[in-house]
Structures are given as structure tokens and as C-alpha cells.
Structure 1
């Protein structure tokens, strides 16, 4: 299944989807050393985002979250790509400075955790294996 979105940060990635149905805060919500979700309100708490196609509605929280995304990349535990419904400034900035492919304006309800996903952010395309 092909989904269309809008490029936020260019690049291509492929991997297994990790999907949250809730907004995500990177500051305090994700451990920058391990890439594990620690937000107690998250529906993916305890999951590692390392190498995954991280899918969620939108970011929330402090602007420092952008630097947490950059730290994740520097520590080798960042997601391979980020797919969101709405790219707000925090996550968009983080993806750009970390060089993580990111696409927004995607119907994330069509993606499930565990599916294999290819992201071509340059074209704004998401290919989901069914």
C-alpha cells in the first residue's frame, strides 16, 4: 500500500514500523542514551525506537526535544525515519538537524506496528507491506 505525504527532512529509510496513536514528547519521553520510550502515558512505553520507522500523530513538549532527537542520532539509537500526521516545529527541527528522513500529512491509521515500511521522504512516499 502506498501512502502520500509531504517531505519534511529528506532521505530514504526502510524498517519495521513502531506506531503510537498518541502525541510524543522527546524531552523526558525518550531516553537519549538507549532510544527506549519512557513516557508513562505513551502506548509504546518500553519500546525501543532504534532503527524503526517511528510513526505517531505529532510531537509535543519542550523545544529541547529537537536536541534529544539529535542526541539519539549521535548515540546510534535514533529511528530510521519519522512519519507523522502533523509535523510541528520540535520534531521537524530535530529530524532536520539529525538527518533523519521525515514525512508528514500521512494517514497513520493505515500503518500498524510490525509492518515493514519504506520511506522515500524525497518524494513524500510511504510504502507499507501488507
Structure 2
């Protein structure tokens, strides 16, 4: 882990900026069928983080799982204020990114999504607050 005040670079998939406590997911997650629409809590009983809220957390996951309907669920969670503060991905995910882009267009609410390479992902803290900047310059700092 890098010392406090560290930063990693990333690629912007959906623009925005945010802060929140890190929540690492041990397995991929589907927003449709895996989270509660109105609370943002993980409802998939088979998921290791079942019962944890996603709201206002910086979600770190290798990939999402499942349905293309996840984009509409994520967009609604963004509108309702129960979505993650930001999402950090290890691989491109068009469905999750589409949900954030749709919310920005329809509701005017941005959810930053960043793509991190393996080195940047490994450097992230496992807990605590981080700041996410997703624009022309994309980074995560803590």
C-alpha cells in the first residue's frame, strides 16, 4: 500500500468527482437482482458482501455480473441518491458505464467511473476514504 497522500492514475469511463470510503467487492455484482433499487444494499444472498450498503461508498470491483438491466437500476439508484459515490473497475464495463452516462444525461447527476490497471488497483487502500477525479485527468487519491 502507498503512504497517505498517495495517488494512482486511471482512465475515465464516466466523468465526475467524488469522495467516499472504499468498499472492495470480493466477487462481481449485478445491480439488477443483486442490489435493492431503493436502498442500494447488496441483496444477492450468494454474494460475499450481502447486506452491505453501496450508497456513498467508492466501489471497487473487477467487473459487474449479469443483466443489461443493471444500467437502468444503477441510473435509478443514482437518481435516488443510493448509488455508490464512484465505481473503480479493473475491466471495461459498458453496462455499468451506460447507467452512469444515462443518469448524467437524464438527471444531471454524475457518477464517476474509472478504469484502473492492475498496478493502480493493487496500490489502492483496502479501507478508508478516497477521492476520485474522473475528467481529462483521472485519478484516485487518499
* TM-score (norm: length of structure 2): 0.83
Contact 1:16 1:113 in 2 (8 A): no
Alignment of 1:126 onto 2:137: no
Residue 124 of structure 1: how far off its partner (Å): 1.6
Mark the runs of 5 or more structure 2 residues left unpaired by the alignment.
Answer: 1-5, 104-109
Confirm or deny that 1:41 pairs with 2:46.
Answer: yes
Q: Shift of the alpha carbon at 1:26?
A: 0.7
**Which residue does 1:77 correspond to in 2?**
82
- Which residue of structure 2 lines up, in the alignment, with residue 104 of structure 1? 115
Distance 2:84 2:126 in 1: 14
Mark the structure with the bigger radius of gyration.
2
Which consecutive unaligned segments of at least 5 residues does structure 1 have? Answer: none
- Partners in 1 of 2:56 and 2:93 — Cα distance? 22
Question: In the alignment, which residue of structure 1 is the partner of 2:36?
Answer: 31
Q: Tell me which protein shows more helix as a share of its residues.
A: 2
- On the 8 A contact 1:6/1:104 being kept in 2, the answer is yes
Shift of 1:113: 4.5
Q: Structure 1 length normalisation: TM-score?
A: 0.90
Equivalent in 68, 92, 102 of residue 63 of structure 1: 68
Write out per-residue CA displacement over residues 24-46 of structure 1, whole angstroms, 9 at most, x where no aligned residue.
11110010111100112222111
Q: Aligned pairs, how many? A: 128
Moved >2 Å (runs of 4+): 105-114
